[in-house]
A = this chain, B = another copy of it.
Amino acid sequence: MDLDQRIKDKMMKNNIRPSMPRTRIYKYLLEHRNHPTVDTIYKALQSELFSLSKTTVYNTLALFTDKGLVRAIGIEDKELRYDADLHTHGHFKCVKCHAIFDFELDLDTINLQGLSQFIAEDYHLNVKGVCRNCQEV
């Protein structure tokens, strides 16, 4: 089964009608793991979806987030970024070059006794600092 078909199946399984903008946006997120912003996605897809509206990108990402297809990551910027990678991982933001990196994270190793009173649904570990490249300068 090819990628486009898998994307459609995934969407239908989550009660999302696989319209053209939606499948393109989801495909873009699957193929670009660099945590794009709404604007990045919008600009990238304009050439293939002539009439695409930015509102559609917003609507679609809100829908995806709601249905659990993607995660919104807000790491100190004012604009949200989106991530189709659902496996547990943290985000590192370099304060010098502003790039965002994924890093491996094993939630099981964390002592989360402090959360015993809560029903936790979603974990976001955001770390800021200096990335490898920027350390050399």
A-side residues, CB < 8 A to B, are 72, 74-76, 78, 89-90, 92, 94-95, 101, 103-106, 109-115, 117-132, 135
Contact = CB atoms under 8 A, between A and B. Distances in A.
Contacts of A111: 105-106, 109
A110 B117 CA distance: 20
* This chain's copy number in the assembly: 2
A110 B111 CA distance: 8
A61 to B, nearest CB: 14
Contact of A118 (B117, B124, B132): B132
Contacts of A115: 90, 92, 103, 127
A75 B75 CA distance: 9
